[in-house]
Amino acid sequence: MIRFDRVLKKFGDNVVLHDLSFDVKPGEFVTLIGPSGSGKTTILRLLMTLERVNGGTIQVGDEYLTHVERGGRLVPADEKHLRLIRRRIGMVFQQFNLFPNMKVLQNVTEAPTRVLGLSRDEAETKARSWLEMVGLSDKVDAHPSQLSGGQQQRVAIARALAMEPDVLLLDEVTSALDPELIAGVLAVLREIARTTDITFLCVTHEMQFARDVSDRVMMFDQGQVIEDAPPGVLFTEPTHARTREFLHAVLDRT
């Protein structure tokens, strides 16, 4: 579903991703871990086409983010092509960025009506079922300011799901939350991963969550995957010294 092939990304002279290749299969839940500045968020931003590669290719499904086939020739991807790919990718960030003046239900129906062209009735029916899935059926008429951070993040998750993405990118979704609200958000994500065939690429410092929910965990260091294994292996028998150091440092902090 996602393929990075020899991707190079630099900001000025700073080479952030160097010859990076990895695959994520349809329906897999893959988590990226690694030290601050190792390039994890950059990978998600490339997939959202908020950044462009300096070399190599990125594929989502059968489409390339970098180029498109026209009349048997490969030409650079244009904005129309990127928009179509972007629709297949949802993202939930650390900041919830809900529309403050809209009620919860409207926050979830806005993009499906405007972007996917759903009727208001259809969008509302779907939105109610997503809001039920994230445990917020009783909050459809609330405004975001009346909700806790954890509830707001669950609205943001429902809003992403309402676009029916093939791929959902999660970037430190619990970092801005008080500790007592984190478990509820992670439980919702765990349930979505279990019951849908969405492909997940997740950046998190929540090692227990990564361990519980991931099919694979990729340890990142200096723009490269240095270890890629199921969580049961990576967390208990990491083969790379950098992975061991990183896990010790993170687990000591918690």
Compute how many residues bind ligand ATP; rule: CB under 6 A: 11
CB of 143 to ligand ATP, least distance (A): 30
Report d(CA 2, CA 41) in Å as an integer: 16
Question: Whose Cβ is closer to ligand ATP: residue 11's or residue 99's?
Answer: 11
CB of 150 to ligand ATP, least distance (A): 21
CB of 23 to ligand ATP, least distance (A): 20
Helices (DSSP H) in 35-76: which residue ranges?
Answer: 40-47
Question: Whose Cβ is closer to ligand ATP: residue 33's or residue 140's?
Answer: 33
CB 185 within 8 Å of CB 150: yes
Burial (0-12, 13-18, 19+ Cβ within 10 Å), 173: buried
Question: Whose Cβ is closer to ligand ATP: residue 166's or residue 172's?
Answer: 172
- Measured at the CA of 168, the angle between CA 107 and CA 62, to 5 degrees, comes to 125
Residue with token string 């279990």: 194
Question: Whose Cβ is closer to ligand ATP: residue 1's or residue 16's?
Answer: 16
CB of 131 to ligand ATP, least distance (A): 29
Sheet holding 2-11, edge to edge: 14-24, 2-11, 55-60, 63-64
Site for ligand ATP in 32-71 (CB under 6 A): 34, 36-42
By CB under 6 A, name the binding residues for ligand ATP: 11, 14, 16, 34, 36-42
